[in-house]
Amino acid sequence: MSFSVKVNFIDVFKIGDNINFNLEILKILYDQYDRLGEKGATIIKPIVILNTSIAEAILYDFIQNRIKHANRTEIIFSDLTNLFKSKRFDKFEHYITQAEKHDFFDMGDTNFYKVMRILLKKRNRIHIQNDKLEEPMNEQEVFDERSKILSEIVVEKIIDTMAIKYPRREEYHGFVADFELPWNRHFKVKEIIKRPYHNGDPMIWSETKKKWYVINKQGEWLEFDKSEKDIDWRTIE
């Protein structure tokens, strides 16, 4: 009961390593959850908290490192990179708000983002005293089977979207071990690959010269002297 996702989207590799460390903890918790039967409900709280924290870490890396402080050769949203530079994002709520505003996950409605906010509130219940008197007061009602499943769905959707829609260039792949998620898949995934083009001709990045080149119909490599926004990223299914 688990599946792996290739990590081709993380900017700061140490964040990816730490996610893998927490996934190892989750694997142990899920093993215990399965063995305990009805008593498995007693360990749903750490499962939900860790799943939600992983979702936050990935959104943090995407917004702070892939968009706000984007590598100039990997600019995803040039308009957002310029916009975000003057903004401060330091809370999970900030990342959810931006993800919803720009619909990074192509949901078409707000339900997915509402679920993220529900999980944010549950994650904040790590503090047993519940000094804000959030309802329900009983933690067994906060951390139930439904919340566990919701946390899995959110993490899975975030990781799948990042891997398919927002991959980094291939030279940045392989530095972080694949993420192994310790539950059965909730979604079927169709791989989508994006390739750069300019005026219908394919492009290639030269890591040696740190430049983009356009390959014309004669097979010649022509130096790309325009802006990143003039690159046409085409989806290949």
Instruction: Express each pLDDT in 173-216 by its tens digit.
Output: 999 999 999 999 998 766 556 678 888 888 877 766 777 888 88
Query: What is the rounded CA–CA span in Å between residue 212 and residue 152?
Result: 39
My answer on whether 202 and 172 are in the same domain is no
Is 148 a member of any domain? yes
Q: What is the pTM of this model?
A: 0.79
pLDDT at 88: 74
Same domain? 118 vs 216: no
The answer to whether residue 187 sits within a structural domain is no
In a domain, 123, yes or no: yes
Domain boundary among 181, 207, 222: 181
Question: How far is the CA of 132 from the CAs of 115, 125, 224, in angstroms?
Answer: 20, 10, 56
In a domain? residue 131: yes
Domain that holds residue 216: 193-236
What does each C-alpha distance from 14 to 20, 47, 52, 114 come to in angstroms? 10, 22, 18, 29
In this structure, the answer to whether residues 45 and 162 fall within a common structural domain is: yes
User: For residue 190, what pLDDT is reported?
Assistant: 61
- The rounded distance, in Å, linking the Cα atoms of 99 and 108 is 12
Residue 188, domain member (yes or no): no
Instruction: Give the C-alpha separation, 181 to 189, whole Å.
Output: 15
Statement to judge: residues 99 and 199 lie in one domain: no
- Both 94 and 199 in one domain: the answer is no
Q: Is 122 found in the same domain as 52? A: yes
Q: Please tell me whether residues 177 and 201 are part of one structural domain.
A: no
pLDDT on residue 83: 61
The string of pLDDT tens digits covering residues 121-175 is 999 999 999 888 989 999 999 999 999 999 999 999 999 999 988 899 888 999 9
* Residues 72, 123 share a domain: yes
Look at 93 and 79; give whichever has higher pLDDT: 93
Cα angle at 1 between 33 and 121, to 5 degrees?
55
Q: For residues 81 and 136, state if they share a domain.
A: yes
Q: Which amino acid is at 142?
A: V
The tens digit of pLDDT for each residue in 81-103 reads 666 766 776 788 889 998 998 88
Q: Are strands 211-215 and 201-206 parallel, antiparallel or unpaired?
A: antiparallel
Number of domains in the chain: 2
